[in-house]
Amino acid sequence: MRRPHFALSEGCSPRHGDATMEKQAQGAHAAAQVFPFAHSPDNRHAWDGRSAGEGVPFEIRPDPFGNRLSAEVHGLDLSQPLDAETVRTLYAAWVRYKILIFVDQHIDDAQQIAFTRYFGPLEEFPMKAVRANTHSEIFRVSNVDTEGNHLPADHNTVRYLHVTQQWHIDSSYRAVPSKGSVFRGIELTRQGGETWFCDLEQAYEDLPAALRTRVDGLQAVHDFEVSRRAVGNLAPLSPEEKAAVPVAVHPLVRTHPDSGRRSLFLSPVHISHVVGLSAADSKALLDELVGLAVQEKYIYKHRWWPGDVMMWDNRSLMHWAQPFNEQALRRVMHRTTLAGERAAGASQ
């Protein structure tokens, strides 16, 4: 049985084959609310072999330990075309759970791009050096080059990993920020490299009333160069790359266009300041909001397993990658990024 992806307290991560955890998972799955495309048995291998477009059953299983974030999708082959009903079902579940984990997938870059396009147009990452050679829509988050060579610590691509190892929202620095991201593990490390997610929607709802009222009308400046300066020693952007990502101003609280729910629009590594506040007051407010948001109760921690493909909602989450030993271990992840819509503020 597959190890479950659950958010647990520090030091309590389940191990594959742990009998207690497996037994709890089996019982929890039996009681979990399931959103099937068609009826199917609990055994995820017992499908009838047809493509999803031909009505193959699949299940969307919410986290059986009650975590608000994440659901696993079983029985769907992302290398095959999906029909409109399947896409609608997935999108509704994605908006509800914010993170979908498609298990046991075996797809290539072209298939990842094709799957992502079911949900909208794609972005291209501003830095050409970290795009895949054959598909510009693929952002390579990796310390390995396209020829398979393990890169040294001072390589520009490896240095940029340190940006991803801080809390951020993908593409928050764009005038039109990203809708969501699809992330695929190609080479995984078993030490470090987990992805942590923060539920900015629930964090906003739980803010003290006075603080919530204060931030509702504020705006923040997001700047791609801010995150680059934070890690230092990165090769300068070309004029073309720099022109693609001018400074952007977004509401500090945004309204989700599908659910209508509000969330903090926090992307700490990309935000330079809050509009209208002094540098000191801006930093104090951002530090306070981040400190409240990253409490354990709002966090989902994902340990990657072979075959995982994850889709997350950038309109209500921020995330970061856990550091790993970049010189001893290899990690290759490919991301496709959905273009979104302008962020609507709390009053819109």
The whole-model pTM stands at 0.84
CA 295 vs CA 111, 148, 264: distances in Å: 36, 38, 14
At residue 273, the 3 state secondary structure works out as strand
332-339 and 253-255 as β-strands: parallel, antiparallel, unpaired?
A: unpaired
| pLDDT for the residue 198 | 98
**Cα separation of 181 and 175, whole Å?**
17
Taking only the tens place, the pLDDT of each residue in 210-253 is: 999 999 999 999 999 998 888 877 778 888 888 888 999 999 99
| pLDDT for the residue 30 | 33
pLDDT above 80: residue 16:
no
- Mean per-residue pLDDT over the chain, rounded: 85
pLDDT above 90: residue 74:
yes
| pLDDT for the residue 32 | 40
Taking only the tens place, the pLDDT of each residue in 138-155 is: 999 999 999 999 999 888
Domain positions in the chain: 19-197+303-345, 201-292
Q: The tokens 């921690």 sit on which residue?
A: 301
Please compute the mean of the pLDDT values over residues 65-75 and round it to a whole number. Answer: 87
Lookup: tokens for 119: 């949900």
Taking only the tens place, the pLDDT of each residue in 86-110 is: 999 999 999 999 999 999 999 999 9
Hey, which of 20-24, 67-71, 135-139 has the most confident mean pLDDT? 135-139
| CATH of the domain spanning 19-197+303-345 | 3.60.130.10
Nearest residue to 340 (alpha-carbon basis) of 170, 136, 142, 219? 170
